[in-house]
């Protein structure tokens, strides 16, 4: 699903198609669960930073592994299956457990040291500031 | 082809109750387990905070509603949107008699745990078999 705001021009338009291709490339890399695209991600961006959010309820922070290389973000993790006591009968088991890996290509390289992640209410939010060296610099025009 | 005027006058049929709030309604994935003395429900409800949950038990129907907080960062464009936020809602039919005063719910990291203790009459009672003769 892709959202498009027809009235706004987004500088990331071109990069979206590139991103889609990269996602396809990395999706088959490691398959932990039956779904090839888990977790679902929302990627927000502007010229200064990118924010990635994912719905990942019921995770322990220790079971989450987030890594960044240049402009690639990889989210790896595992949701543990809760042990069922002997005297318990389960009528329904819809919540899945297991490992997952997801790699997303970002529109620009980010400052690895300044990447911040928080996990609140079961939502993982990763804040990735743009790498200084990739920020567009205004070029002064000298007139003589 | 019906023209615009005809279409405007057509009565529209509606069978589902419609939403009166923004955002879609989602069905939270739920595990249901039963112990001798209680029913346990566990729902995945990411992005829902403590004050945003509503649990009602009426006429053997349990309804759970949880509103997700919209996590929209300010001053940013959505570049890739694979999920939306909205409201989680699910109804369960609970035929067993539940002790309403002792219903206990806990929300932790986007997972809602609901404990529905069975009313004493609903608990299985061991019947002694007396052997005679």
Q: What's the pLDDT band for A34 if we cut at 50, 70, 90?
A: very low
- Inter-chain contact A57–B79, Cβ cutoff 8 Å? no
**pLDDT tens across A74-125, in order?**
999 999 888 878 889 999 999 988 999 999 999 888 998 899 999 999 999 9
Q: What is the model's pLDDT at position B67? A: 93
Q: Which two tokens stand for residue B87?
A: 């409201």
Compute how many other C-beta atoms are within 10 angstroms of the C-beta atom of residue B53.
Answer: 18
User: Rounded to 5 degrees, what angle do the CA atoms A91, A94, A98 make?
Assistant: 125
How far lies A86's CA from each of A72, B33, B42, B114, B115, in Å?
44, 12, 18, 19, 17
Whole-angstrom Cα distance, residue A31 to residue B23? 32
Average pLDDT over residues A3-20: 61
A26 touches chain B (CB under 8 A): no
With 0-12 / 13-18 / 19 or more C-beta atoms within 10 angstroms meaning exposed / middle / buried, residue A43 is: buried
Whole-angstrom Cα distance, residue B122 to residue B79? 53
Å between B6 CA and nearest CA of chain A? 31
Q: What is the model's pLDDT at position A28? A: 44
Q: Which residues of chain B have pLDDT under 50?
A: none
Question: Which residues fall within 8 angstroms of residue A39, CB to CB, at 6 or more apart?
Answer: A54, A55, A56, A75, A100, A102, A124
Q: What is the model's pLDDT at position B113? A: 95
Å between B20 CA and nearest CA of chain A? 23
Nearest to B96 by CA among B62, B126, B53: B62
pLDDT at A66 over 70: yes
Select the residue from A14, A59, A121 to test the B interface by mutation, using most B Cβ atoms within 10 A: A121
Q: Specify the pTM.
A: 0.74
Helices marked H in chain A: 13-27
Pairing of strands A98-105, A116-120: unpaired
- Nearest chain B residue to A9 by CA distance is B77
Select the residue from A36, A100, A122 to test the B interface by mutation, using most B Cβ atoms within 10 A: A122
* Pick from B71, B77, B78: CB nearest A125: B71
């Amino acid at each position: 699903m892709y959202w498009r705001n027809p009235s706004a021009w987004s500088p990331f338009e071109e990069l979206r198609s590139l991103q889609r291709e990269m996602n396809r490339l990395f999706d088959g890399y490691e398959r932990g669960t039956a779904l090839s695209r888990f977790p679902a991600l929302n990627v927000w961006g502007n010229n200064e930073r990118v924010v990635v959010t994912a719905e990942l309820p019921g995770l322990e922070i220790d079971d989450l592994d987030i890594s960044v290389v240049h402009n690639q973000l990889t989210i790896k993790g595992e949701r543990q299956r809760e042990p069922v006591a002997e005297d318990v009968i389960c009528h329904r088991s819809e919540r899945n457990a297991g490992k997952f890996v997801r790699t997303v290509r970002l529109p620009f390289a980010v400052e690895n040291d300044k990447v911040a992640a928080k996990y609140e209410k079961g939502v993982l939010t990763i804040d990735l500031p743009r790498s200084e060296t990739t920020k567009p610099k205004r070029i002064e025009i000298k007139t003589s | 082809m019906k023209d615009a005027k005809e279409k405007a006058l057509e009565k529209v049929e509606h069978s589902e109750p419609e939403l009166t709030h923004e955002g879609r309604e989602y069905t939270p994935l739920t595990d249901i387990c039963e112990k001798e003395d209680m029913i346990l429900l566990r729902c995945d409800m990411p992005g829902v905070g403590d004050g945003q949950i509503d649990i009602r038990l009426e006429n053997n129907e349990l309804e759970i509603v949880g509103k997700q907080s919209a996590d929209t960062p300010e001053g940013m464009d959505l570049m890739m949107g694979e999920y939306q936020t909205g409201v989680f809602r699910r109804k369960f039919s609970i035929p067993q008699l539940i002790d309403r005063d002792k219903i206990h719910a806990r929300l932790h990291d986007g997972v809602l745990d609901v404990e529905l203790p069975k009313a004493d009459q609903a608990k299985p009672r061991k019947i002694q078999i007396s052997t005679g003769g």
